[in-house]
Amino acid sequence: MKLLYVDIARTMWAFDPQLLNTGGFSTQELFKKLDERYSFAKSPKHPLDLNEKGTLAFQLGKFVNSAKTPLDVTFTIYNNGFSAETSSSTNDATEFLHDLAAWMTKEFGFVIPPKDNLQSAYFSQINVQLDTALSAVNSKLQSITKLLNANVKALDGNPRLFDTGALIFWTQDVGQPLAPSAFRLERKWGAPFSSNQYFSQAPLETQQHLDLVGELEKLLKS
């Protein structure tokens, strides 16, 4: 397996943001200082400047991680917590949140809940190249592929080649608030089948996600 690139690497912390600022410090001043520290390209101007999703989104900021690598980062405030998103790894997103938390405590006296009182979750989207096709998951599926290839009539009259397109796992409460996202591995749209390029998403840290796809690839090869 080869990682082509990371689309999204998101870390989420769930807690009551109201507990951060029990002293009533001006949040407008906080927003101004956030812009200065992380140079966000687009950010809310005040606490009521919500986007269409009802959140406060600070977009395309710059964060230099512990490896001294400058990274693009997006920071979002929800009514039940924070999230940070990079296109490198969830480790970087988590590091940003810790940097932010330490700075908010030092600069404004805000109190971030201790680790034991934080609920953490992750979401990642990656693009990979596998050494084998997803159709290898079960040879019995080939009979369905053959039927589709033989019987589907396209409007332009040209024949089409079908193959197994996706493998998806989800929880029983899929689609409900707070449910983890589905794990999915699917052929990358527009890429030729021969390229074996796949898109995948999972409610996991980036490295765990890569490990999971790697295990799946081993099963496909076996």
Per-residue pLDDT of the chain (222 residues; tens, 9 = 90+): 999 999 999 999 998 877 777 677 777 888 889 999 999 999 998 888 999 999 999 999 999 999 999 999 999 999 889 999 999 999 999 999 999 999 998 988 888 877 777 899 999 999 999 999 998 988 888 899 999 999 999 999 998 999 999 999 999 999 998 899 999 999 999 999 999 999 999 999 999 999 999 999 999 998
The size of the chain, in residues, is: 222
Q: How many CA atoms lie within 13 A of 81 on its CB side?
A: 15
The pLDDT score that the predictor gives to residue 99 is 96
Contact 91, 204 (CB under 8 A): no
The pLDDT score that the predictor gives to residue 113 is 77
Tokens for 52? 């269409």
Phi–psi pair at 157, nearest 5 degrees: 80, -5
Q: Provide the b/e sequence for 2-16 (b: ≥16 CB within 10 Å).
A: eeeebebbbbbbbee
Q: How many CA atoms lie within 13 A of 215 on its CB side?
A: 5
- Strand 183-187's sheet: what is its strand order? 56-64, 70-78, 81-86, 2-14, 119-129, 197-202, 183-187, 166-169
Phi–psi pair at 113, nearest 5 degrees: -55, 145
* CA–CA separation, 99 and 85 (whole Å): 14
Tokens for 190? 């527009």
Residue 142 neighbours by CB distance under 10 Å = 13
Contact 84, 60 (CB under 8 A): no
The pLDDT score that the predictor gives to residue 112 is 80
pTM over 0.85: yes
Q: Which of 37, 5, 219, 28 is nearest to 125 (CA)?
A: 5
